[in-house]
């Protein structure tokens, strides 16, 4: 039986895939933006079944994103393999206000995809979406987007190429523009085939107009001639095709000489006739061929991505995935599952030892903080989803709260929290943020641990809790899951919905909340 890959192959927030084949294994790196650890790494032997094998960036190589804005942080990694080592290039976006983008590009290397990864080598700050190209003559090149901050000039200043000297761990400092057009193109990747150099490009932004095109040249430094076809891959002309926002891709060779293209796409939820990508941008795969004139095309024709893709040259290799429920039985958080915001989970604040079998969260900064929030969260992977926990906490101040949260960024979240005030004592509220903060009426709870549940159905979210008799009770109200998407609120939004648990202690007096488990039914386990 041929291997059938069902798209998305990496479900939930996994954008900007970069793929490399080493022997009979395939590895994909995806963007993580403000989430920690940085650059999620996945492995497969059949392109259909994938497992998370770790991250490239954490406290071991000095990675820290405290202070970066929402949707800043790590953009568009580039994973390659050369001379027996994995190379990973990435951009860290530190500010992106007005005409400016303050950013740094780095390279880390490792003998194995599971690490250890090296200290970062700085590659300059010329632009973003840097990728590596290793030419057949042994030279190394970085190709990326150049940025112009002058307000009277277009911000997009072309695709530039610069040599990298690995023995000296530095770039040449001399970049040459190899491609430009009036509208923005990004995510560049270079390939050398028999007929010359092929430059794969993402265009149309990251939204509904996204797509992939290609340009070719007989010389590395150009000139590059763009494909006459409007796009190799796009969904911009058909809002009904299942994989929307298709774009930003990379090629990988298959056994026997074929090629595959990994790319990002989104599965939108419909609400009142509008589309919302609550899951963020996900990773998909397609088969590609070269036509009679040497241009890249989707196998089978057309430019819409397919949901099911066959790989008869590969053998099925299922992987064992972590269960949907985490009972916090280990001595460390499972970072294949959990992420934190901007910095590592300090064991003093994310405590698995004080109450065995429970996670003790010592309350951190507020939801507005770009520094130290006490929250762990994981990607929501399906449009219809549930997440549940049991929390044991005794708040005694309006500045203490803990519970279950659905999170997009600091401006968009839904939090079912156990808190306190003088009028109601210990109680539950649903607190939401959509540029402004709204609080529900209080819901009374009995003493002891309280079960909390969120149920997501497309663009809507409802909450439930356990009553004093232990039965689940639906709480009044329906909440806007659609607001937790790239497509709501305007501005630059590049991530996706996460769900998890958090605790706030705004007076920082050592208050804590204990969580017995988190059951994430959206993980499809």
Confirm whether 492 is domain-assigned: yes
Mean pLDDT of 97-101: 82
Mean pLDDT of 356-382: 97
Q: Give the list of residues 6+ apart from residue 425 with CB closer than 8 angstroms, or none.
A: none
Whether 223 and 81 share a structural domain: yes
Instruction: Kindly report whether the global pTM for this prediction surpasses the value 0.85.
Output: yes
Confirm whether 222 is domain-assigned: yes
Q: Compute CA distances 59 → 47, 76, 112, whole Å.
A: 30, 20, 18
CA triplet 56, 57, 62: central angle to 5 degrees? 140
Whether 252 and 356 share a structural domain: no
Question: 311, 344, 379 — which closes off a domain?
Answer: 311
> Which of 413, 429, 351, 352 lies closest to 377, judged by CA?
413
Instruction: Give the C-alpha separation, 376 to 307, whole Å.
Output: 31
Confidence (pLDDT) at 32: 98
| Positive or negative torsion for Cα 326, 330, 335, 339 | positive
CATH code assigned at 459: 2.60.120.200
Q: Alpha helix locations (H) across 179-242?
A: none
Catalytic residue of the set 186, 326, 381, 514: 186
Whether 251 and 273 share a structural domain: yes
Q: Is residue 60 helix, strand or coil?
A: helix
Query: Domain span at residue 510?
Result: 325-523
Whether 267 and 385 share a structural domain: no
Query: Looking up tokens 């010359």, which residue turns up?
Result: 196
pLDDT at 454 over 50: yes
Confirm whether 319 is domain-assigned: no
Mean pLDDT of 434-438: 94
pLDDT category of residue 522 using cuts at 50, 70 and 90: low
Taking the CA of residue 143 as centre, how many other CA atoms within 13 Å lie in the half-sphere pointing to its CB?
25
> Which of 235, 214, 260, 280 lies closest to 487, judged by CA?
280
Choice between 525 and 16, residue whose per-residue pLDDT is larger: 16
Confirm whether 100 is domain-assigned: yes
Instruction: Give the C-alpha separation, 482 to 506, whole Å.
Output: 28
pLDDT at 524 over 60: no
pLDDT category of residue 1 using cuts at 50, 70 and 90: confident
Whether 427 and 464 share a structural domain: yes
Helix, strand counts (H, E) of the chain: 0, 44
Whether 424 and 509 share a structural domain: yes
For the chain, the C-alpha Rg in angstroms (whole number) is 23
Catalytic residue of the set 16, 46, 70, 514: 16
Instruction: Give the C-alpha separation, 351 to 184, whole Å.
Output: 46
Tell me whether the omega of the peptide bond preceding residue 119 falls within 30 degrees of 0, making it cis.
no
pLDDT, mean over the chain: 96
Instruction: Give the C-alpha separation, 523 to 36, whole Å.
Output: 20
Confidence (pLDDT) at 194: 87
Question: 245, 278, 311 — which closes off a domain?
Answer: 311
Whether 196 and 264 share a structural domain: yes
Confirm whether 316 is domain-assigned: no
> Which of 286, 280, 240 lies closest to 263, judged by CA?
286
Give the tokens for residue 206: 């990251």
Whether 292 and 429 share a structural domain: no
Whether 91 and 128 share a structural domain: yes
> Which of 200, 197, 91, 198 lies closest to 147, judged by CA?
91
Give yes or no: 16 in active site.
yes
Instruction: Give the C-alpha separation, 382 to 279, whole Å.
Output: 7
Query: What is the maximum span of the chain, computed from C-alpha positions, in angstroms?
Result: 76
CATH code assigned at 49: 2.115.10.20
Give yes or no: 186 in active site.
yes
Number of domains, the chain: 2
pLDDT at 525 over 80: no
Question: 278, 311, 344 — which closes off a domain?
Answer: 311
Confirm whether 88 is domain-assigned: yes
pLDDT, tens digit, 9 for 90 and up, residues 384-403? 999 999 999 999 999 999 99
Whether 255 and 356 share a structural domain: no
Confirm whether 295 is domain-assigned: yes
| Positive or negative torsion for Cα 353, 354, 359, 365 | negative
Confirm whether 318 is domain-assigned: no
Whether 391 and 451 share a structural domain: yes
Whether 81 and 214 share a structural domain: yes
Q: Give the list of residues 6+ apart from residue 395 with CB closer than 8 angstroms, or none.
A: 401, 402, 418, 419, 420, 426, 511
β-partners of residue 340 are: 36
């Amino acid at each position: 039986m041929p291997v059938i890959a069902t798209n998305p192959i990496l479900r939930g927030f996994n954008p900007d895939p970069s793929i490399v084949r080493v022997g009979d294994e395939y590895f994909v790196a995806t963007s993580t933006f403000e989430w920690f650890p940085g650059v999620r790494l996945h492995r497969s032997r059949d392109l259909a079944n994938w497992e998370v094998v770790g991250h490239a960036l954490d406290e071991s190589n000095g990675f820290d994103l405290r202070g970066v804005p929402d949707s800043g942080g790590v953009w568009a990694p580039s994973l390659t393999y050369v001379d027996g080592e994995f190379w990973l290039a990435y951009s860290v976006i530190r500010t992106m206000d007005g005409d400016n983008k303050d950013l740094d590009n780095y390279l880390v290397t490792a003998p194995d995809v599971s690490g250890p990864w090296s200290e970062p080598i700085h590659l300059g700050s010329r632009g973003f979406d840097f990728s590596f190209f290793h030419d057949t003559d042994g030279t190394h090149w970085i190709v990326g987007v150049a940025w112009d901050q002058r307000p009277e000039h277009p911000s997009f200043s072309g695709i530039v190429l610069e040599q990298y000297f690995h023995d000296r761990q530095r770039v040449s400092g001399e970049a040459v523009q190899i491609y430009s057009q009036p509208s923005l193109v990004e995510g560049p990747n270079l390939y050398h085939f028999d007929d010359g150099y092929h430059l794969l490009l993402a265009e149309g932004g990251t939204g509904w107009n996204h797509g992939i095109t290609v340009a070719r040249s007989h010389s590395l430094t150009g000139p590059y001639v763009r494909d006459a076809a409007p796009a190799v891959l796009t969904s911009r002309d058909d809002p009904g095709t299942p994989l929307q926002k298709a774009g930003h891709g990379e090629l990988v060779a298959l056994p026997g000489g074929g090629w595959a293209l990994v790319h990002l796409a989104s599965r939108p939820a419909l609400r009142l006739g509008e589309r919302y990508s609550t899951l963020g941008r996900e990773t998909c795969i397609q088969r590609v061929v070269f036509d009679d004139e040497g241009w890249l095309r989707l196998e089978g024709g057309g430019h819409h991505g397919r949901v099911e893709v066959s790989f008869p040259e590969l053998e099925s290799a299922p992987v064992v995935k972590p269960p949907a429920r985490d009972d916090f039985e280990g001595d460390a958080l499972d970072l294949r599952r959990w992420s934190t915001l901007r910095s590592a989970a300090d064991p003093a604040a994310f405590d698995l030892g004080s109450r065995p079998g429970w996670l003790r969260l010592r309350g951190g900064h507020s939801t507005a903080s770009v520094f130290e929030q006490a929250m762990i969260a994981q990607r929501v992977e399906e449009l219809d989803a549930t997440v549940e926990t049991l929390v044991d906490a005794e708040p005694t101040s309006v500045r203490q709260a803990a519970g279950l949260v659905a999170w997009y960024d600091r401006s968009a979240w839904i939090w079912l929290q156990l808190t306190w005030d003088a009028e109601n004592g210990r109680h539950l509220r649903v607190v939401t943020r959509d540029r402004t903060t709204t609080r529900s009426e209080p819901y009374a709870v009995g003493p002891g641990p309280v079960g909390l549940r969120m149920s997501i159905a497309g663009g809507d979210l409802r909450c439930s809790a356990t009553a004093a008799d232990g039965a689940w009770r639906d709480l009044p109200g329906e909440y806007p899951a659609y607001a937790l998407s790239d497509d709501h609120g305007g501005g630059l939004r590049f991530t996706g919905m996460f769900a998890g648990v958090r605790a706030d202690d705004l007076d920082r007096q050592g208050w804590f909340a204990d969580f017995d488990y988190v059951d994430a039914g959206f993980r499809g386990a």
